[in-house]
A and B are shown apart, each in its own frame.
Chain A
Amino acid sequence: MSGFFQALQQKFGGQIQSMAAEREDEIYLLVGDPDIRALAEYLQSEFEAKLVTVFAEDRRSAEGVFFNYYVFERKGDTRYLIVRAPVSADHPEFPSLSAEVPAVNWQEREIQDWFGLKAVGHPNPRRVALHDNWPDVHPLRKDFPLETVLPPFEGERHIYRPALGEGVLQVPVGPVHAGIIEPGHFNFAVAGEPILYLQLRMFYTHKGTEKLFEKLPIHKAVFLAESISGDSSFSHGTAFCQAIERAAQMEIPLRALIMRTILLELERIYNHVADIGAIATDVGFVIANAHASRLKEMLVSLNEQLTGSRLLRGMVCVGGVRRGWDVVQLVSLRSTVDAFASEFQDLIALIDSSESTRDRLEQTGVLRPEKARDLRIVGVAGRASGMDLDARRDHPYAAYGRYSFRVPVYQVGDVSHRMQVRVDEVNESLGIIRSAADESLHGDFRAQVPPIPADRCALSTVEGWRGEIIHWIRTGPDNHLERCKIKDPSLNNWPALVEAVQGNIIADFPVINKSFNLSYSGTDR
């Protein structure tokens, strides 16, 4: 560690002001300038460190400046390196990294919109997180009250780039879609059937979530975390609680860690099996979806028995979990998992037996590995396109260190392989759940929560079923938070959809979109 720091000192001199390890796996580096381009380049070339996320914080009242945070990770290292770079309140500007690191394109623009810090040199500096008809406000600045009532909106919500050429036309879809799904606007430019270019307008479901985290006391904020993305309630809830636990340096009882692991995997498989069915439906194989949704119902009923909620809500808490399981619950966990496993094999055999289904899925919606790398696509979509990332293995949490599992990675990147990743992962998850359920589940399931110290920062990661979920917090006085940054995997995966649909026919869009199945609410917050 000190060697690393010396190397940085030698290279960048006074630029690097200090380095602190709040916890062994979370290292903070304070720099003196908002321009971290040279440092990022050096970390990439010398240490193969990859930029995971970037976010901002308004520290004007405490430190007189804003800060940008750049989170790096590298292969085979469980630690995160977090570079903290000041942005002057008088000249709220920072140099953009998006041209070199396209993965942070939306995230830098989000900082522009929500904090009013300009990303200088951004290749596409238009608004992303606020619609164009919003007034000139920056909701995450501390001097913007949560309850502000904005005047009625006027003008265009978003001006789409024109697509010109003979026979080229634009097809607008949304925000209200044909099915029972979340809202967002898609603008397709097509020539005949193939899609030339897709433009996205997201953030229709923006509901002030990150700002609201700064108002709620911590024990209530757990429920807000569960409502970031409804199909990932337990993952987001756990990511949030882990962040608080890390900030307060709490020891969590092993029983709680094992129970969290089981519930995280149950969340993964109920969503995966639903997606497998939905992908089959979108190419007309409806009977497979009937079976898949029946299997999902088996799992959500089990969820209810284990947690009182079909979507696993109201179970995770700061310090562990709210209730233990008795023998009856453990028996139904094991028997449901066994029954599900055998039914799941039947379902996959059914889908495999349908040649027309396979034919529609293969070579459809290809996301090439180079593109996935540039955009740092995470989770299921990333692993189907060569991205060997999985926070359960790379940054272990809960009880994942105790179980062995395989991380499926493919290079093809089509709908078929995004489905295959899900199939493989369901099988791996069943293994994890079985091993975890065989452990002795006795003892405490909830640690006493000490007073949460103020002004502590902590980063927490959970591999949700879609991919890596990151929560970063700064605690404040009286059991409140100063800042809570939420990064849902969907935020950096949407641009992958834009790449994957190019050249495909518009009729295949639903199945391509479903194979990513990104969260609108998780993106928009």
Chain B
Amino acid sequence: MFKIIQKTIATGIVTMSYPAEPAQVSERFRGRPNFDFEKWKDAQPAANVCPTGAISLSDSGDSRRVTVDYGLCVFCGLCAEASSDHAVRITQEFELATPDRRNLVFTAEYTLNPDGTHREPRFVHHRVCDVEAEVEDVGQKAREQIQKLLKRSLAIREVDAGSCNGCELEIVALNNPIHDIERFGIQFVASPRHADMLLVTGPVTRNMELALLKTYRAMPEPKVVVAVGACGISGGIFGENYASLGGVDKVLPVDVYIPGCPPRPQAVLHGILLAVGRLRERLYDERAG
């Protein structure tokens, strides 16, 4: 017992203060690839190397439409390596969670030179982000809502619907003393009957479809669903095939999408806090209705 206390005192407090303060991430961390659509001279090399088709092209005549989907992105960084014009740059941004799937998709249209490079952009469509509220603000609001509406406790049921276990490692990390999700009054629970939120990973395999549905149905209203990781959002590298349905929203209504492969713990936390806002809307709807 003495040893335990001694070690605890020697260790001190290790919990980080994200989101009140920005997360400390290594400058090597590969977050959101940023696309300078105005400057981008050729999207073909990046589209060729992208492992999940997150960058896709459709050419017709002398025009090209480029689509970038962060819901498919596995953050490998190959697009930046392949693009010689420095128009693609890897950033350390990870707070990409959004309630609207369309917010993850960017499009641009170019006229083409005879050699297939871009002559000039015709339009650039950024869907990001009506929810770009300050992250700190999201944390503060969520904290207040959890305290007021949920009586200081948000209960989450996690379901692995066919993930590789990568997302699970990062979700489990939210329980460690560094990330300590319980400081928000949030806890992971064993039964869906105790849960306000369903956190789902994996591309939803045919074999997990029924278990996922049953878990959802067992939850009391109001409830929110959060899809975690490239697989949860879109099927990721697995996509749709004979054994994979290609994303959580093929089966359930999804309230918040958290990109990443896997998303780092702070990114998952950010998405969960965002979803608390959705839960608040639900609660008021239910009371009004």
Contacts and interface: CB of A to CB of B under 8 A. Distances in A.
With most chain A CB atoms within 10 A of its CB, the pick from B8, B74, B205 is: B205
B176 A521 contact: no
B262 interface: yes
B241 A211 contact: yes
B243 A350 contact: no
A301 B26 contact: yes
A507 B141 CA distance: 41
B3 A350 contact: yes
B207 A131 contact: yes
B181 to A, nearest CB: 11
Interface residues of A, number: 68
With most chain B CB atoms within 10 A of its CB, the pick from A179, A219, A224, A230 is: A230
Interface stretch (A53-61, A285-293, A467-475): A285-293
A37 B259 CA distance: 51
A231 interface: yes
B234 to A, nearest CB: 13
Contact of A207 (B14, B29, B203, B215): B203
A233 B192 CA distance: 30
Contacts of A301: 26
Contacts of A440: none
A521 B172 contact: no
Interface stretch (A91-99, A117-125, A146-154, A361-369): A146-154
B261 interface: yes
Interface in B212-246: 215, 231, 236-244
With most chain A CB atoms within 10 A of its CB, the pick from B30, B158, B241 is: B241
A491 B26 CA distance: 36
Contacts of B231: 227
Given A131-B207, A311-B262, A182 B165 contact: yes
Nearest to A203: B207
Interface in B172-229: 172-173, 175-178, 188, 190-192, 202-203, 205-208, 211, 215
B211 A231 contact: no
Interface in B46-91: 49, 51-52, 74-77, 81, 90
B4 interface: yes
Interface string A186-212: 000000000000000001111111011
Given A139-B243, A304-B29, A206 B171 contact: no
A279 B148 CA distance: 37
Contact of B206 (A153, A287, A294): A153
A230 B262 contact: yes
B111 interface: no
Contact of B237 (A144, A147, A227, A287): A227
B165 A520 contact: yes
Contact of B168 (A181, A222, A297, A346): A181
Nearest to B165: A230
A304 B231 CA distance: 21
A179 B190 contact: yes
Given A147-B241, A183-B160, A204 B207 contact: yes
A174 B124 CA distance: 47
Nearest to B214: A176
Interface of B: 3-4, 7-8, 11, 14, 25-26, 28-30, 49, 51-52, 74-77, 81, 90, 158-173, 175-178, 188, 190-192, 202-203, 205-208, 211, 215, 231, 236-244, 261-262, 264
Interface of A: 131, 137, 139, 144-150, 153, 175-176, 178-183, 203-209, 211-212, 216, 219-220, 222-224, 227-231, 233, 287, 290-291, 293-294, 296-297, 300-301, 304-311, 313-314, 322, 329, 346, 349-350, 353, 519-521
Instruction: Please list the 10 inter-chain residue pairs (A to B) with the smallest Cβ-Cβ separation, ordered nearest first.
Output: A230-B166, A293-B176, A178-B190, A230-B164, A230-B165, A220-B51, A208-B243, A308-B30, A223-B51, A208-B241
